[in-house]
Amino acid sequence: MGDGGGPVVLGIETSCDETAVGVVAGSLLLSSVLSSQVEAHARFGGVVPEVAARAHVEAIRPLVHDALRQAGIHQTQVDAIAATRGPGLVGSLVVGFGFAKAFAWTLDKPFLGIDHMEGHLFAPRLEHPGYQPPAVVLLASGGHSQIIHVPEWGRYTEMGRTIDDAAGEAFDKLARFMGLGYPGGPAIDRAAASGDPTAITFPRALGDRPFDLSFSGLKTSVTTYLAKAARADMVPPLGDVAASIQEAIVDVLVEKTFNAVDATGVGRVAGGGGVLANTRLRRRLAEVAADRGVELFLPSPALCTDNGAMIAAAACFHLGDGSRSGWDADVDPGLRLG
Ligand code: KG4
Ligand code: ZN
């Protein structure tokens, strides 16, 4: 057991392009380390699954050591080992999942396979003890965008989701189109800082559906706008385009999240996933939450993006409710929360 924090859990996350390991004691964060593959994938403009899987194999063992050392925990003091079960790239998932199972077996400790999105949903707890159900949680990452109602831990009702691209995917694709590189979210966030968000009005889709999201129309609208500008030999200020794209994405994420707050009557909103690291989204959520008198719980940016500590935090809850995964458990690349 940790120092008053609850069981010590080591969490491993390898669903996409970050090898990440974290150690928590209950909801107390002890360490969170990662090895980013951004450089390995940047020249391809996106994640290459074979490259990702190989990089996880190389990074995982030293990272587990780093995470334990930084936490000041010896491996024999760990109460359970957890790893992401899905959703994600199958070749990447099996590296972390297989390593975690073997490690747990060797230590003779319980092993738990965790839903990656449930990890994002638990991430705010590591910094905000006041984050408790009932809550509405906005989960927005590179592969998923969902609005989840959490009446109690472990029970998740999906109120809305994207019907096409995820919010992070929209950032990534549009940044690539604009020549801003990969990953696109941070690049647009930076470029937008010097731009006017009202310069260009890009569409906000699905105004008739309270909780669902769609970003493919925005993609078409931006690419058409930029192609037209190029034909007219007009170079629109990059900052204005970035800020206007960001505003269109942020507008719908904020609106739909608070539609869910209105519909459920909850007094707490939380967020998780890489897109929640976005400067403008964080500010707008904070403004609307303050306006409505709703409590807001956002992880710091480093815990919004993929990390191992969030997997360990979700596992802590499941350890308490008695769940365990068997030694024959397998990854599930298509896992869906809610
Ligand atoms: O949760 P995450 O690290 O990985 C997945 O589970 O997909 O999310 C990654 C996504 C990427 O699409 C990335 O462009 C986006 O989060 N992202 C951002 C920002 N930082 C990361 N999007 C907008 N603004 C940011 N500052
Ligand atoms: Zn993620």
Task: State the pLDDT at residue 4.
Answer: 54
Task: State the pLDDT at residue 40.
Answer: 85
Nearest CA to ligand 1 atom 14: 185
Is residue 228 packed enough to be buried (19+ CB in 10 Å), middle (13-18) or exposed (0-12)? exposed
Torsion 337-172-209-283 (CA) sign: positive
What span, in angstroms and rounded, lies between the C-alpha atoms of 222 and 31? 41
What span, in angstroms and rounded, lies between the C-alpha atoms of 275 and 171? 9
Task: State the pLDDT at residue 2.
Answer: 47
161-195 in b/e form (b: 16+ CB < 10 A) is bbeebbbbbbbbbbbbebebebbbbbbbbebbeeb
What span, in angstroms and rounded, lies between the C-alpha atoms of 193 and 229? 22
Residue with tokens 């604009």, as numbered in its chain = 178
Output the 3-class SS for 211-271.
CCECCHHHHHHHHHHHHHHHHCCCCCCHHHHHHHHHHHHHHHHHHHHHHHHHHHCCCEEEE
- CA of 193, nearest ligand number: 1
Q: What is the pLDDT along the chain (338 residues), one digit of tens a residue?
A: 545 579 999 999 999 999 999 999 998 999 999 998 888 888 887 889 999 999 999 999 999 999 999 999 999 999 999 999 999 999 999 999 999 999 999 999 999 999 999 999 999 999 999 999 999 999 999 999 999 999 999 999 999 999 999 999 999 999 999 999 888 999 999 999 999 999 999 999 998 999 999 999 999 999 999 999 999 999 899 999 999 999 999 999 999 999 999 999 999 999 999 999 999 999 999 999 999 999 999 999 999 999 999 999 999 999 999 999 999 999 999 999 98
Distance from Cα 278 to the centre of ligand 1, integer Å: 8
- Asked if residue 143 has its Cβ within 6 Å of ligand 1, the reply is yes
For residue 169, which atom of ligand 1 is closest to its CA?
A: 12
For residue 120, which atom of ligand 1 is closest to its CA?
A: 1
What span, in angstroms and rounded, lies between the C-alpha atoms of 260 and 247? 20
- 295-297 β-sheet, strand order: 155-161, 145-152, 135-140, 268-272, 295-297
Contact yes or no for 198/244 (Cβ under 8 A): yes
- Asked if residue 13 has its Cβ within 6 Å of ligand 1, the reply is no
Query: Cα-flanking dihedrals φ and ψ of residue 206, to 5°?
Result: 55, 40
Q: In sequence order, what are the residues at sequence separation of 6 or more whose Cβ sits closer than 8 angstroms to the Cβ of residue 265?
A: none
Q: Give SS3 for 128.
A: coil
What span, in angstroms and rounded, lies between the C-alpha atoms of 249 and 202? 9
Per-residue pLDDT tens over the stretch 239-279: 999 999 999 999 999 999 999 999 999 999 999 999 999 99
Q: What is the pTM of this model?
A: 0.96
49-78 in b/e form (b: 16+ CB < 10 A) is eebbbbbbbebbeebbebbbeebebeeeeb
- Asked if residue 52 has its Cβ within 6 Å of ligand 1, the reply is no
For residue 175, which atom of ligand 1 is closest to its CA?
A: 14
Amino acid at 264: T
Q: Which domains does the chain have, with CATH numbers?
A: 8-124+303-320 (3.30.420.40), 133-298 (3.30.420.40)
- Asked if residue 172 has its Cβ within 6 Å of ligand 1, the reply is yes
The token duo for 93 is 């998932």
C-beta neighbour count of 256 within 10 angstroms:
23
What span, in angstroms and rounded, lies between the C-alpha atoms of 17 and 47? 7
- Asked if residue 277 has its Cβ within 6 Å of ligand 1, the reply is yes
